[in-house]
Structure 1
Amino acid sequence: MEIKLRQETEQDHKSVFQVIQKAFENEEYSDHKEQFLVERLRKSNTFIPELSIVAEVDNKIVGHILLTKLEIENDIDTYESLALAPVSVLPEFQGKGVGSKLILYSHEVAKELGYKSIILLGHEKYYPRFGYELTNKYGIEMPFDVPAENCMVAVLAKNGLSGVRGKVIYPDAFFE
């Protein structure tokens, strides 16, 4: 199975909406509204077109990942980072490497664009294989009460989080 990765286009929005909806349909820890989050993020000032990526198999969109800007803030400084939310794969393509390819490719694009870290809330057994570590190891806190083992960060550049500590500030689009 050949998986092609590319930047999402406006013509892909309907297909991506459906992929996200189906991907999270039976997820226990989901509000089943991730597709609407993606629509809001696309319209926000945190959207980075190059980091909205689709996976295609036989010219059909089977997966999508979105990285958007967020900040880590303390009393002294504000640091730019990225949020990974969501990564979506059609159920019939899950477990076949589509999600892994999307995550690794998005990391490469983010590095090329000069970003130093990515923050996510996710499954504690899945994301560490892609270099994600607990945020509390770096003195980074989430703005809401969630289990520490689900709060993770990937460092994209050498010393990418050197001196960075504080609270994650998610864009308003995450809460609308």
Structure 2
Amino acid sequence: MTRQKRWKELPVDQVRRYLEPGPVVLLSTAHKSERAIMTLGWHMMLGYDLVGTYIWDANRSHALARASRECVINLPTEDLLDTVVRIGNCSSAEQDKFDRFGLTALPSREVDAPRIAECHAQFECRLHETRITADYPLFVWRVMHARVAASPRIPRTLHYRGDGRFTVSGREVSRRRLFRPDMLEQ
């Protein structure tokens, strides 16, 4: 017998604590001689190789992404949690965040934006399209090249829950046996 849940009201501005789209990432951009890193939690998969990101126009990364039409989406893990928060608390317009936080910029294969060596995975992207309105600057990126560390196989990624709190990903659970074979990725 399933136990009946007790319900409570939730302010709508806290819905994101339950529907957060995925791990927090570090988005790196570059244009001409300037580069930037921003902490980003507002992103979503739109297809197998398309990623949508909400980049507020007050972030320096917004201007660099629009100008260059490129970025790298870097996946940090638990060991970078404090750095991820600190990156989100300052502006790239004030100081180079690679230098400030001791991060290693690596060249990318397909784009001019640098990868972050300390991250578990790096996804080099080119702008596919934008949907920029007064309130919602949505960038749609096509992943052109992807790299992932050989280990650990299941990284401990960061998921922002709001109010300064994170969940760190836990164990993996398989239900592969329940899927139709044609529904599994090849």
Output the TM-score relative to the length of structure 1.
0.25
Where is the strand percentage greater, Structure 1 or Structure 2? 2
Output the TM-score relative to the length of structure 2.
0.24
